[in-house]
A and B are shown apart, each in its own frame.
Chain A
Amino acid sequence: MAAPVAGGAARGCGAPSFQRKAPAGGSRLAAIAGTRPAVRHGQLLLSSGLPSLDSVLGGGLAVGTLLLIEEDKFGVYSNLLFKYFLAEGVVSGHELFVASAKELPANILKELPAPLLDDNYRNELGEEATAATSEDFQDSMKIAWRYQNLPKMEVSPTTSARFGHYYDVSKTMSSELFQSIKCHSFFLPEELSSQPTIKMCNMNCGYARLLQSIQKIIFQEGFDGSHPQKKQKNILRIGIQSLGAMLWGDDICSTDNPEDSHSLTKFLYVLRGLLRKSLSACLITVPAHLIQNKAIMERVTNLSDVVVGLESFIGSERETNPLYKDYHGLIHVHQIPWLNSLICDVSDTKDLAFKLKRKLFTIERLHLPPDLSDTVSRSSKPNLAESAKLLSSGCGAMAIGKKHLDF
């Protein structure tokens, strides 16, 4: 697919085909801190706060797009991703807009994880990584020598100096990092009680109010280019927590036939319009497991740019399953936008799992442990075969069936 596209570009601009056309105003836009232009399609990318999620998304989150996270059952990891996103904004100097219906935004901001900015940590992690790879190298040369060329999914820490940082979950961010950051907040109970209710295009009142305040901030602070001479360009990071939950006044989580099934979809559409017209990016967490009407969830997926679903193993039988002992959950990437191009960068596997250590949240390709002997894990043999069927990239002999061969 790449050759015709490159040929097309050559025909279109009349230049030799190996000359890479720089994105319009690329050098000017790259001066915004915390962003970098994408090589493939000339969009400006932000880091989502997790370098491994950035590599899954093809480099980062593009400015003007919407990242939707389907929450896991207890909201533990989606909350963490939400905080990583905001923390990345603080460290990069972007402006923040935090909206929530259940927690005070000020409290959310107090609990952001601390960034690891010192070099000591980077060296330490570098040593661990090299130690691990040298061991692997020894083993892989003997047994699985064909696999030693496969790349790992996570980005090594030494390369991500200015784009994408690592955070320590056990410490909170110190308040002096916040001093230069402008944070706007929207806490639904306060907003609803302060002003009389308005009716905007038959949308749920909470959503309408949120849209209005986002639009006001974008316009006033000039993110949509309306005050070009005012100050240096910056990015607005919008984080909305648990949209669609009952606290927003929407009943899609409680009934199969909600009264107003279009509020959430209209909200997302208008929000995307606002994002496209301004230098901002948005992360929304949605309790997808609670939404009863699956049609709405499909429409929501179609209307967002990037959709990532989290499935954690807490409380499910997979927690004790030896297959998954290294990981805390699975990540499903449901959708990646095909921006400005006919195809997109999709990673070559869809089986991704994440694990959370104190200082690192990594997303890796899910590996099944080798099936060593007949007697060891006999009770979990059916589980093995069934979960092997879930793997779409095919793990070879394990996906054959429930019976195992006796030799």
Chain B
Amino acid sequence: MFAELNELLNASPQRPEKGTFTLLRDTRTDGSFLVHHFLSFYLRAGCKVCFVALLQSFSHYNIVAQKLGVSLTAAKERGQLVFLEGLGSCLDVLFGEEQQQEQAGQPHPLRFISDGASDLRGLFEFVRTSLAPATGDAWPGRVLLLDDLGVLLSLGASPVAVLDFVHYCRVAVCSRLQGNIVALARGGDDSEDEENELLVTSLCHHSDLILWAEGLATGFCKDVHG
């Protein structure tokens, strides 16, 4: 959690805002520090967090979060954090198909990779059940963190499917549960990836707050990242 960013956004862990959709964009630089910031911010604020981490492994986030003062393993154990590690669970989808059958009742969240089905319904169900209000849990807020949406495009989902997924999540999390969504999407204005551009532009229109990390236009500089 970065204190300067909190001051800029006028946010504090004691009173997090409700019902907002924050979009994190990055161009020519890596915006994942913002994801770490929001993760530690919301864990400190005492919200229940569902983190769909498609880009890096759990230990990466854990180590960075420890440096920022929060422990992800402890949060996971007490149920405050629900973590979906994309890299690990896609292996289950592809290589562990025999064992997963009896666990079904709900389909695996990343099943769209192997099925070729163009909707992300499984992923949405996962998000919905993990953030659903349950008896006896002591965390008032609900937060969904997505890192990152461009990976869904790379894995075969169409941009419309990803937008539908985000829309469903917004309805479920922001309006019904009064929670927040923070999503990271990469890509800039001069990128050649049209699907990504489409995704990012429409997300910009839907979001309440956009934080855009941009690399320096004049090129690379060692001390200032953007």
Contacts and interface: CB of A to CB of B under 8 A. Distances in A.
Contacts, number: 111
Contacts of B150: 299, 302
Interface in A330-375: 338-343, 346, 348, 350
B64 to A, nearest CB: 6
B63 A277 contact: no
A9 B193 contact: no
B195 interface: yes
A277 B59 contact: no
A270 B220 contact: no
Given A266-B155, A341-B64, A350-B220, A211 B194 contact: no
Q: Chain A, interface size: which category?
A: 35 or more
Nearest to B186: A302
A348 B220 CA distance: 9
B193 A299 contact: yes
B114 interface: yes
A12 B67 contact: yes
B196 A295 contact: yes
A303 interface: yes
Nearest to B40: A8
B68 interface: yes
A298 B116 CA distance: 22
A303 B2 CA distance: 27
Nearest to A64: B57
Contacts of A277: 87-88, 91
A393 interface: yes
Interface stretch (B9-17, B30-38, B139-147, B174-182): B30-38
Interface of B: 2, 30, 32-33, 36, 57, 59-60, 63-64, 66-69, 71, 86-88, 90-91, 93-95, 113-116, 150-151, 153-156, 186-187, 191-196, 219-220, 222, 225
Given A201-B116, A265-B155, 5 more contacts: A8-B69, A41-B63, A274-B91, A277-B87, A302-B150
24 contacts: A8-B67, A8-B68, A11-B69, A42-B63, A201-B115, A202-B114, A202-B116, A262-B154, A265-B154, A266-B156, A270-B90, A272-B87, A277-B87, A294-B192, A295-B191, A295-B196, A298-B187, A299-B154, A299-B193, A338-B32, A339-B60, A341-B63, A341-B67, A393-B220
